[in-house]
Structure 1
Amino acid sequence: MAEVTNELIYEVLKAMQTRLGNVEDGLREVRGELKGVRGNQQAQQVQMSAVQTDIGNLYEAFGTLDSRLARIERRLDIIDTPVR
């Protein structure tokens, strides 16, 4: 069996410290990527909400225009009778 010396222990601890530093760097990188993914998801949710609001506004505007057009047709007496 090999003799365990302080120098051998020191070398093993130095290697472990280097590897631990690499793990910490990798973890920092993964955390940064995760923050980016979360930020992207939040941005997409905000965009989707804005699109839904815009669609709702369009439906409301079309409804208003449809009502106004129906009123104009009644006043001008140009309402088409439905075909049966």
Structure 2
Amino acid sequence: MSDEPDNIVLVMLRRIDAKLDRVGEDVHNLKVRMTSVEEGMAAMNRRVDRIDERLDRIERRLDPTEVR
């Protein structure tokens, strides 16, 4: 390669390309993390649903009546 400096446009395009690569990696990491959060929330919702079902079953067994 020659000793003369690169074209300024090429330099800027290389910088943009490098930044775009980093942004792409960051977006990928965020997607992975969000998927993990969503799976955790789904598991938590299933547990809450089971607790709600168990509570309903307990209430039916006890047959609570309202006192006035």
| TM-score over 0.5 (shorter chain) | yes
Q: Alpha carbons of 1:79 and 1:40: their partners in 2 closer, same or farther (altered >3 Å)?
A: farther
Tell me what 2:26 maps to: 40
Distance 1:23 1:58, change over 3 A: same
**Corresponding position: 1:61 with 2:47:** yes
Higher-Rg structure is 1
How much has 1:70 moved relative to structure 2?
0.9
Q: Does 1:73 align with 2:41?
A: no
User: Residue 38 of structure 1: CA displacement?
Assistant: 0.3
Using structure 2 for the length normalisation, give the TM-score: 0.69
Q: How many residues align?
A: 65
Unaligned runs of 5+ in 2: none
Unaligned stretches of 5+ in structure 1? 1-12
Aligned-partner Cα distance in 2 for 1:19–1:79: 85
Higher relative contact order (CA 8 A, sep 6+): 1
Deviation sequence 1:21-46 (CA, Å, 0-9, x none): x5554343222211110011111211
Residue 50 of structure 1: aligned partner: 36
Cα RMSD after superposing both structures: 2.6
